[in-house]
Amino acid sequence: MGTVRATRLVKTFGPVVAVNDLSLEAKAGEFLTLLGPSGCGKTTTLRLIAGLEKPDRGEIHVGDRLVSSPGAGLFVPPEQRGMGMVFQSYAIWPHMTVFENVAFPLEELRRPRAEVRERVMTILATVGLGGMHARPAPMLSGGQQQRVALARALVSNPQVLLLDEPLSNLDARLREEMRFELRDMQARLGITSIFVTHDQAEAMTLSDRIIVMSGGRIEQEGSPEAVYQRPSTRFVMDFLGRANQLPARVEKRPDGWIAVVDGHGSELALGEGDWADKQEVLLAFRPEGVEACAAERDGAWIGVVRSSVYVGGRVEYVVDLGGFTVRATGPEDPRLPCDARAALRVSPRAVRVWPRDPEQTGTNGGPAR
């Protein structure tokens, strides 16, 4: 019940490979997010699962049921897959009332009138629109229209809920509110949900698990914490949040491997790994993995503060590290002034080490532990 499994999906549009040998699974009751930039294949993947596109190759199962297999000549149409879908545009019919919009899927199924009314009123109460059933659709706010679209997708009790960037048309404040409302409702209903977005904050807030996509393939999948704190590729590191990247050189020392920042001499101890002496690498780390403080601390990197901004309980700094710019964080008091010398304490656990040349081998591409 409620699981979705896609195996080796391929979808092309002319010469463009939109989905390239992709496999994924959404577990029962899970909130799974497909995250990536425009053109990465996330929406096409969702449309393949929904049955709005036919794959060139691969299979899709919903629960134990095979719903799509070009090899077997099988394609179950969207309305028979037991799924509800919310589109980016909401697709609310302006000539209908709220009740009529939500009731439409049940009427297409020719459900009894009494059952339709009971289910529509129940789901409207669930999404916070109780008492608004008679209101004309054009008189709704953006947030209310989004709730109507959600109610219409849920009214037929689908096994799976598919959401294609449903919050992107809302203003910033309402979008943030709806993230929490959507997550709370999904958890209460226990419905398997697959959500598509390019917004990293949405993905982090909503998801049990995130699949990061690029070029029609999966770059990484895991919990929000895992993909943010432990990116497995340079693409994921760059796409999710901000990242400092410093060129460095690996050196063998008597007490272990050291990465030396080019042109500055700052050093970072590396753990065991498949390193090569004098290998050129990039040290990549988040701003929150670097603490900035007054330059009296031993064993720290020393730079000069170029700018700072207060961001609710902490200060974010831009520090000049001998020709390289590093973003760091520090306490709000004391706040370092512009042009002050700053000590940067870099947590080795926060650092990922990548080969300078993507084709270069001899590195584990992992944290500097």
Strand 83-86 relative to strand 160-164: parallel, antiparallel, unpaired?
parallel
Pinpoint the residues of the chain covered by CATH 3.40.50.300.
4-237
Residues 6+ apart with CB under 8 A from 265: none
Residue 182, token pair as written in the block: 């959507």
Pinpoint the residues of the chain covered by CATH 2.40.50.140.
243-355
Residues 6+ apart with CB under 8 A from 118: none
- pLDDT for 361 beyond 50: no
Could you tell me which CATH class the domain 4-237 is placed in? alpha beta
Phi and psi of 191, rounded to 5°?
-90, 135
Average pLDDT, rounded, for the chain: 90
Give the Cα separation of 275 and 288 in Å (integer).
26
Residue 177 binned pLDDT confidence (cut-offs 50, 70, 90) = confident
Q: Which of 218, 212, 180, 217 minimizes the C-alpha distance to 197?
A: 212
- pLDDT (tens digit per residue) in 291-346: 998 877 665 799 999 999 998 889 999 999 988 999 999 998 889 999 999 999 98
Question: Would you state the pLDDT for residue 363?
Answer: 43
Eight-state DSSP code of residue 336:
P
Task: Summarize the confidence of residues 361-366 as an average pLDDT.
Answer: 48
Q: Which of 253, 289, 287, 273 minimizes the C-alpha distance to 368?
A: 273
Give the Cα separation of 85 and 246 in Å (integer).
44
Give the Cα separation of 345 and 347 in Å (integer).
6
Residue 366 binned pLDDT confidence (cut-offs 50, 70, 90) = low
Phi and psi of 207, rounded to 5°?
-90, 145
Question: Would you state the pLDDT for residue 334?
Answer: 87
**How many other C-beta atoms are found inside a 10 Å radius of the C-beta of residue 343?**
21
- pLDDT (tens digit per residue) in 25-61: 999 999 999 999 999 999 999 999 999 999 999 999 9
Q: For the structural domain made of 243-355, what CATH number should be given?
A: 2.40.50.140
